[in-house]
A = this chain, B = another copy of it.
Amino acid sequence: MLTTPSSLDQRFGLSRRVVLPGPLRLDGGALLAPVEIAYETYGSLAPGGGNAMLVCHALTGDQHVASAHPRTGKPGWWQRMVGPGKPIDTDRFFVICANVLGSCMGSSGPASIDPVTGRPYGMSFPVITIRDMVRAQALLLDHLGVGQLAAVVGGSMGGMQALSWAATFPERVAACLMIASTARHSAQNIAFHEVGRQAVMADPNWRGGDYYDGDPPAAGLAVARMAAHITYLSEAGLTEKFGRRLQAREQKSFGFDADFQVESYLRHQGLAFTDRFDANSYLYITRALDYFDLAEEHGGLLANAFRGTATRFCLVSFDTDWLYPTSESRAVVHALMAGGAAASFVELSSPYGHDAFLLESPELDRVVSGFLGTGR
């Protein structure tokens, strides 16, 4: 089935949703059916279908990569990268972005209705992996009539999906662009996520995940988000942005209000997040991230994941990213080389830590354009 978006869709990137019968066999052994996938597309699929590109989103991202978020009204999360004439050029590519399995923006996740009970899954939703997300995206591509992807692109968790795509469906991926990511979650990565999960589960409103008919565990989720948010920023970036500057009142309160700007900023980040994200989805997706270890899926040797592949790879890291530092990208490059893959790698300089991949960066634009052949 070939989908040709209307001009309206091309302009606004209207969100679509497909219910695929499944069942999808998950890494944990469970069968998921049906498999709902919410997605957006930008640009037109060429008649031969050779111009399709998949953009994968990060932990708390969504399918609105280049169009306004329906709930917050904010621009798409990578609007500066994806669009007509941009590095991911929608004049040339048919760009697909799907909400990942386990999330809460329309794809199957813990807030979805379990057809067996007629009630939200909650914690009875099966635990998923990055590869499960990729398999669900493959179902979507089948539905859209897309055989091979010209490229799969992603930053952070999106980069893990991109890598997992190349390892799981090598014949469907011509090019793979992984930005600010890793082939496996480290002990420190797991530790931070565990703090977040414990914060959610410690909130009495969480009620074992069965909160959909009451108040959600917003306080716990806000704390989880605050802790995670620190890891997205560099120490230098925090110092540049906030330092020890006080709030407007310019005096320490000698109390427990947010005296420092950085406190107020973090509290805001935590609270705003609870308006747009489901706490159970946060548990499931962090679990998928922590389980991610591409080498483990291939007999303990990462090179095995890519042996003999025809996919071209490009990896980008940022020098101040301490969540997924450059050393993680290097390990992937070494494995690609050992597997005989064509791989290029660049470490970019930025003061902004992990978040740099989402921010204005002419250097990143040039790397992406160059790799995708969209340079002018």
Chain B proximity of A293: nearest CB distance (Å): 6
Quick one: which of A172-195 are within 8 Å of B by CB?
184-188, 190-192, 194-195
Dominant secondary structure at the A interface: helix
Write out, one digit per residue, whether chain A residues 233-246 have a CB within 8 A of any chain B CB (1) or not (0): 10100110111100
A212 at the binding interface (Cβ < 8 Å): no
In the complex the two chains form, is A192's CB within 8 Å of B230's CB?
Answer: yes
A238 to B194, CA, bound (A): 14
In the complex the two chains form, is A194's CB within 8 Å of B262's CB?
Answer: yes
In the complex the two chains form, is A239's CB within 8 Å of B188's CB?
Answer: yes
A364 at the binding interface (Cβ < 8 Å): no
List residues of chain B with CB within 8 A of the CB of A299. none
A211 at the binding interface (Cβ < 8 Å): no
A220 at the binding interface (Cβ < 8 Å): yes
Write out, one digit per residue, whether chain A residues 199-226 have a CB within 8 A of any chain B CB (1) or not (0): 1011110000000000000011011001
In the complex the two chains form, is A238's CB within 8 Å of B186's CB?
Answer: yes
**Which partner residue on chain B sits nearest A123 by CB separation?**
B256
A291 at the binding interface (Cβ < 8 Å): yes
A290 at the binding interface (Cβ < 8 Å): yes
In the complex the two chains form, is A254's CB within 8 Å of B187's CB?
Answer: no
List residues of chain B with CB within 8 A of the CB of A203. 202
In the complex the two chains form, is A198's CB within 8 Å of B254's CB?
Answer: no
A270 at the binding interface (Cβ < 8 Å): yes
List residues of chain B with CB within 8 A of the CB of A316. none
A126 at the binding interface (Cβ < 8 Å): yes
In the complex the two chains form, is B202's CB within 8 Å of A266's CB?
Answer: no
In the complex the two chains form, is B230's CB within 8 Å of A186's CB?
Answer: no
Quick one: which of A78-100 are within 8 Å of B by CB?
none
Picked from B184, B187, B197, the residue with its CB within 8 Å of the CB of A238 is B187
A263 to B204, CA, bound (A): 21
In the complex the two chains form, is A260's CB within 8 Å of B195's CB?
Answer: no
Known contacts A256-B123, A256-B197, A267-B198; A187/B226 CB under 8 A = no
A239 to B242, CA, bound (A): 31
Chain B proximity of A187: nearest CB distance (Å): 4
Picked from B28, B127, B185, B283, the residue with its CB within 8 Å of the CB of A244 is B185
Chain B proximity of A202: nearest CB distance (Å): 4
Picked from B123, B185, B241, the residue with its CB within 8 Å of the CB of A187 is B241
In the complex the two chains form, is A266's CB within 8 Å of B191's CB?
Answer: yes
A28, A244, A290, A293 interface centre (most CB from chain B within 10 Å): A244
In the complex the two chains form, is A188's CB within 8 Å of B222's CB?
Answer: no
A47 at the binding interface (Cβ < 8 Å): no
In the complex the two chains form, is B222's CB within 8 Å of A262's CB?
Answer: no
A254 to B222, CA, bound (A): 25
In the complex the two chains form, is B238's CB within 8 Å of A191's CB?
Answer: yes
Picked from B184, B202, B223, the residue with its CB within 8 Å of the CB of A195 is B223
**Which partner residue on chain B sits nearest A261 by CB separation?**
B187
In the complex the two chains form, is A188's CB within 8 Å of B254's CB?
Answer: no
A119 at the binding interface (Cβ < 8 Å): no
A227 at the binding interface (Cβ < 8 Å): yes
Known contacts A195-B230, A244-B293, A291-B252; A202/B187 CB under 8 A = no
Picked from B185, B195, B241, B287, the residue with its CB within 8 Å of the CB of A226 is B195
Picked from B267, B287, B296, the residue with its CB within 8 Å of the CB of A194 is B267
**Contacts A27-B254, A195-B223, A197-B256 supplied; 8 other A-B pairs, CB < 8 Å:** A186-B244, A187-B235, A188-B235, A190-B263, A191-B226, A191-B266, A198-B270, A223-B223
Among all A-B residue pairs, the 3 with the closest Cβ atoms: A28-B254, A202-B219, A187-B238
